[in-house]
């Protein structure tokens, strides 16, 4: 069997960088087949590597979660950033977010360990509907709704036409397939409105439903199959935050 340096083997699992792996080894937090590891040690594919008692080399089934992100949580896998989504969830397996949702925003975001579905969803521009509930600082007019729906010039482009619906004097619902950076906030700002709160309520075929803030649930088999069907003919990558 091929021998590989331990720090490289750890980094290839996505657990951390080689440098961080060396620190963990030096601190005595890494073991191979139940025995303390040493710097520079080499391993094979059959060796079981553990960090602080947790095996990081085992085969893990695909994980697909719908998470209701609270305001103040940052969608990053960098656990050194305060309020990061990974530490907040504290999920027992390694997962990462699909796309992003701004720190001041809340609502639905997908979490997974399946890199293939991430790429497919982020490329599925035409089938990747995202629905938001947005509250602004002043009364919503018919002119505002019309302009939001027809397209607004931001970031050297004009936003795609989209569905916008007034919910009350200060709240509207918007459905986007586009993913420009901070798109909704920039659109509102262009029209002299300020976003007071923004909640993503649906992505594709999955909605928040009864998922409480800070909680998550797994996709159902039917939900996952529908997503796979929707992203079957995905094309160009385009995804950002709102």
Q: Which residues are catalytically annotated? A: 102
How far is it, in rounded angstroms, from Cα 227 to Cα 115? Answer: 14
How far is it, in rounded angstroms, from Cα 29 to Cα 48? Answer: 14
Q: Which of 105, 98, 43 is nearest to 69 (CA)?
A: 105
Q: Which of 46, 67, 7 is nearest to 213 (CA)?
A: 67
Residue with tokens 């620190």: 23
Residue with tokens 């331990």: 6
H/E run at residue 88: helix 85-89
Count CA atoms within 13 Å of residue 175 on its CB side: 11
User: Where does the chain show beta strands of DSSP type E?
Assistant: 4-5, 30-32, 35-36, 42-43, 49-51, 54-55, 64-69, 96-98, 106-112, 130-136, 153-154, 157-158, 163-168, 171-176, 195-203, 206-207, 216-218
112 three-class SS: strand
């Amino acid at each position: 069997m091929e021998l590989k340096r331990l720090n490289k083997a750890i980094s290839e699992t996505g657990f951390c960088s080689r440098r961080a792996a060396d620190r963990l080894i030096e601190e005595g937090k890494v073991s191979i087949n139940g025995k303390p590891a040493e710097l520079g040690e080499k391993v094979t594919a059959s060796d079981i590597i553990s960090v602080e008692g947790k095996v990081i080399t085992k085969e893990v089934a695909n994980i697909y979660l719908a998470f209701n992100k609270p305001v103040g949580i940052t969608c990053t896998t960098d656990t050194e950033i305060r309020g990061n989504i990974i530490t907040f969830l504290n999920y027992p397996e390694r997962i990462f977010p699909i796309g992003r949702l701004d720190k001041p925003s809340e609502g639905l975001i997908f979490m997974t360990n399946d890199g293939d579905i991430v790429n497919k969803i982020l490329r599925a521009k035409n089938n990747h509907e995202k629905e938001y509930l947005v509250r602004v600082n002043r009364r919503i007019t018919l002119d505002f709704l019309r302009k939001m729906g027809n397209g607004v010039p931001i970031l050297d482009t004009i936003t795609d036409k989209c569905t916008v619906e007034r919910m009350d004097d200060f709240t509207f619902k918007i459905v986007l397939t586009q993913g420009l950076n901070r798109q909704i906030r920039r659109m509102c700002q262009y029209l002299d409105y300020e976003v007071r709160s923004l909640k993503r309520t649906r992505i594709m075929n999955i909605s928040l439903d009864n998922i409480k803030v800070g909680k998550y649930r797994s996709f159902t088999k039917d939900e996952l199959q529908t997503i796979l069907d929707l992203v079957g003919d995905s094309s160009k990558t385009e995804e950002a935050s709102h």
